[in-house]
């Protein structure tokens, strides 16, 4: 299948999900976060064509030239829609940058090849393979199959494929909420990325279903000092002040605090493994989680990581200012406390400025919609366990929370036990197993037909 030739009407979702994902991966939608990059228009046009091909009427909208999103509504059972409202299924089309020299394959080649690190399992490789063009492809394959079959879902479905998630959604989901909220009228729940994937908890295959996510505070430190000649003694050096502030913030021991979602997850791990959670030393329980421990460990506390430093313009000139960027993530209810702590750690001569902030989310696990997710997973993988968890990153569900739409992460993947799934997000040699793509398509097919 090529971007200009969608799969024919005889294709099944399992036949076409790999082709759709591959075509999306071959479109460079890099989002550096600074207003540059190719934009999402080409990928949006591919998505709109796949939806139009089965008789749907998608809307393609640009917040700026090239920054394109696609939204379409699939009519469902009027009685179900009246009772439960519409269900929003959404993904993003942009990806973070990839340095080709660091990869073993072309990051925009959409190559199918074995994964030597995981027993040679066949994978689809490329930037966006798990974040999140895999989910985009699964949604498209499932909905195309649903519409072709003439089935009516149990309630209205609203599908949205958006720009700019990797830069906070300002030109994507946030822009749509601000300027085209009528497209989401009647939506009472949203489903998106980074949940429903499998991990090993002890000897038990366990799926993590995302019901919470930390908030974002991207901050800039601006240190001030006295500019001068590099040969002089300077006790008001902005670079020194910045480095001292960055070191204090980077080394700060944020306390362990357990939210309701994290507590439910930890209790589930204890039930499976018999290992109790010790807030003074979480390592014994986290050791049961393999590489997923990196995500889970980050949800036990607020975090503030320095990510970029910038100062000066010549070796023998002391600059008057120096700057750093921080990626701070806070638990629900902790936003102002985190920012105040950063200000105190930064010190007297360092200003703290907002670059971008967005909310933390926490929603219910014990609801019928989650029951349908669990049922769909267990129908395809009997004997597995499903636990709620909190995402240490963020999703476009933050934007839709402004419309009082609770959001969940459910991009189901059954993964090889040894795959470092957490490390693939924004990492080198991003890839998704073909069997996982097909598994997720089967699960999502069951879910949308029952939700």
Strand ranges across the sheet with 121-125: 111-115, 121-125, 431-433
User: Under CATH, which number does the domain 13-194+394-448 receive?
Assistant: 3.40.630.10
Residue-wise pLDDT tens digits, 140-199: 999 999 999 999 999 999 999 999 999 999 999 999 999 999 999 999 999 999 999 999
- 184-203 burial: b if 16+ Cβ within 10 Å, else e: beebbbbbbbbbbbbbbbee
pTM of the model: 0.93
Distances (CA, A) of 27 to 3, 22, 40, 95, 133: 9, 9, 9, 10, 11
Is the distance from CB of 261 to CB of 390 less than 8 angstroms?
A: yes
Cβ neighbors of 240 (< 8 A, separation 6 or more) are 225
pLDDT computed for residue 144 by the predictor: 97
Cβ neighbors of 413 (< 8 A, separation 6 or more) are 130, 134, 196, 197, 198, 421, 432, 433, 436, 437, 439, 440
pLDDT computed for residue 291 by the predictor: 81
Spans of the chain, pLDDT less than 70: 1-10
Cβ neighbors of 360 (< 8 A, separation 6 or more) are 212, 213, 214, 215, 330, 331, 332, 333, 334, 335
How, if at all, do strands 215-224 and 321-330 pair? antiparallel
133 conformational bin, left if phi > 0, alpha if psi -120 to 50, beta if neither: alpha
Residue-wise pLDDT tens digits, 263-286: 999 999 999 999 999 999 999 999
The upper half-sphere exposure of residue 279, i.e. CA atoms within 13 Å in the direction of its Cβ, equals 11
Nearest to 300 by CA among 279, 284, 285: 279
Same topology, domains 13-194+394-448 and 213-358? Answer is: no
| DSSP conformation class of 312 | -
pLDDT computed for residue 253 by the predictor: 96
pLDDT computed for residue 9 by the predictor: 42
Q: Which CATH code, of 3.40.50.2000, 3.40.50.300, 3.30.70.360, 3.20.20.150, is assigned to 213-358?
A: 3.30.70.360
Domain extent listing, the chain:
13-194+394-448, 213-358
Distances (CA, A) of 344 to 236, 239, 248, 255, 309: 19, 18, 10, 16, 19
pLDDT computed for residue 294 by the predictor: 86
């Amino acid at each position: 299948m090529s971007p200009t030739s969608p799969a024919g009407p005889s294709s099944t979702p399992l036949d076409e999900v790999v082709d759709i994902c591959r075509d999306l991966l071959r479109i460079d939608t890099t989002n550096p976060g600074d207003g540059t990059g190719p934009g999402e228009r080409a990928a949006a046009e591919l998505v709109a064509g796949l939806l139009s091909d089965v008789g749907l009427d998608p809307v393609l909208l640009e917040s700026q030239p090239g920054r394109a999103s696609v939204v379409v509504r699939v009519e469902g059972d009027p009685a179900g829609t009246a009772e439960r409202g519409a269900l929003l299924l959404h993904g993003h089309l942009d990806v973070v940058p990839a340095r080709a020299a660091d990869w073993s394959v072309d990051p925009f080649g959409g190559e199918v090849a074995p994964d030597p690190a995981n027993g040679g399992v066949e994978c689809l490789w490329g930037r966006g393979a798990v974040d999140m063009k895999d989910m985009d492809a699964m949604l498209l394959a499932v909905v195309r199959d649903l519409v072709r079959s003439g089935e009516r879902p149990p309630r209205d479905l609203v599908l949205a494929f958006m720009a700019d998630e990797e830069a906070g959604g300002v030109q994507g989901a946030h822009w749509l909420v601000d300027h085209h909220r009528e497209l989401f009228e009647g939506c009472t729940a949203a489903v998106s990325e980074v949940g429903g994937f499998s991990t090993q908890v002890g000897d038990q295959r366990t799926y993590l279903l995302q019901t919470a996510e930390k908030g974002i505070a991207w901050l800039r430190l601006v240190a001030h000092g006295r500019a001068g000649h590099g040969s002089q003694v300077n006790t008001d050096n902005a670079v020194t002040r910045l480095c001292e502030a960055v070191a204090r913030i980077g080394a700060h021991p944020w306390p362990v605090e357990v939210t309701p979602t994290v507590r439910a997850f930890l209790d589930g791990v204890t039930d499976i493994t018999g290992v109790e959670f010790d807030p003074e030393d979480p390592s014994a329980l986290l050791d049961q989680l393999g590489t997923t421990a990196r995500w889970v460990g980050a949800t036990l506390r607020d975090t503030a990581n320095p990510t970029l430093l910038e100062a000066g313009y010549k070796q023998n000139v002391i600059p008057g200012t120096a700057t750093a960027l921080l990626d701070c993530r806070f638990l629900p209810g902790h936003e102002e406390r985190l920012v105040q702590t950063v200000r105190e750690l930064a010190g007297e001569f360092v200003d703290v400025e907002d670059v971008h902030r967005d909310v933390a989310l926490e929603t219910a696990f014990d609801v019928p919609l989650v029951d349908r997710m669990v049922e769909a997973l267990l129908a395809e993988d009997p004997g597995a366990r499903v636990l709620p968890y909190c995402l240490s990153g963020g999703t476009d569900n933050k934007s839709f929370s402004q419309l009082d739409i609770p959001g969940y992460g459910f991009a189901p993947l059954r993964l090889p036990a040894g795959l470092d799934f957490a490390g693939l997000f924004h990492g080198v040699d991003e890839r998704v197993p073909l069997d996982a793509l097909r598994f997720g398509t089967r699960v999502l097919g069951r879910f949308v037909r029952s939700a």
